[in-house]
Amino acid sequence: MRRDIDEALRGWPYDPEIDEVEAREVRARDGRTVVQVRIDLGILQMELDGRPDGACPRGFTTYLDYLRHRSRIRRRRRNAPVDSGPSAWTMSAEQCSEADRELVQFYHRRVAMLALQHYDRALRDADHSLSLMDFIADFGPTPDYVDRHERLRGGILFDRTQAAAAMALERSRPEEAIDAIREGIDRLERHCREQSPAEDLGRTEFLAGSEELESSDLAFVERLRRLEAEVRHHFEVPKTLKEQLDEAVEHEDYETAARLRDQIRSRAGD
């Protein structure tokens, strides 16, 4: 049996000039579909569902599931409520390493799913990564470890927002896409304030185009604002039903608010 992957590499040459993720779906020998990503030194292969590497760490679907299980056991031993929030227990060095491995795996698959336009799976993987980061925020061993991971949250929120908006547009629901983008912007701005309370979010227009901004969470906010404007212009949506509802509630126009809620519920059921 051949152990090299020369044939696969020759059939899918790596192009360093392509500034995007090169991903594809292929049929494995046992008939299952897997996703592959071409990188400089070879090919990454991942499962479509479950953990990207196909493993079941400690018998659980993901390592996050295992960590939650360990946390519940610790809380029971301390007679603390399961939902009582952070406790004195913190993640071990091994658990931190395994959590990081899982974050990297889900990152690779998330960007592959976006490239393949499998937006539902990209959204799923983004939510998993955010949940794992929430766990790290509660149980990380040191503030530095937590902070290093929180710096990644903006990129995950950005990818999640792109996926949610694209899913809505695939269903020909531009208003839902705009609402998803606005929600993503709100979450990103809150994250920016939490990370840099003194950050002046109003200065993004002045900073637009700088290399520093392009690598920051504020750059993600600006890109989403541009995307929102494009969707509004293309589909001629001045205000979504949700935006109209928010305005009605703000002005205490409860009759209009009730009517808009009915419209939103009706549309959600379509």
pLDDT value, residue 109: 98
Give residue 198's pLDDT. 47
The predicted pLDDT at position 224 comes to 97
Supply the pTM of this predicted model: 0.85
pLDDT of residue 14: 92
Q: What is the pLDDT along the chain (270 residues), one digit of tens a residue?
A: 678 888 889 999 999 888 899 999 999 999 999 999 999 999 999 999 999 999 999 999 999 999 999 999 887 877 765 555 555 789 999 999 999 999 999 999 999 999 999 999 999 999 999 999 999 999 999 999 999 999 999 999 999 999 999 999 999 999 999 999 999 999 999 998 887 754 444 444 433 443 343 458 889 999 999 999 999 999 999 888 888 888 888 888 888 888 888 888 887 766
| CA–CA separation, 259 and 153 (whole Å) | 37
- Per-residue pLDDT, 270: 66
Yes or no: say if 111 and 159 are a contact pair by the CB < 8 Å rule.
yes
pLDDT tens digit string along 36-95?
Answer: 999 999 999 999 999 999 999 999 999 999 999 999 988 787 776 555 555 578 999 999
In this structure, the number of other CB atoms found within 10 A of the CB of residue 157 comes to: 25
CA–CA distance, 227 with 162 (Å, rounded to integer): 9
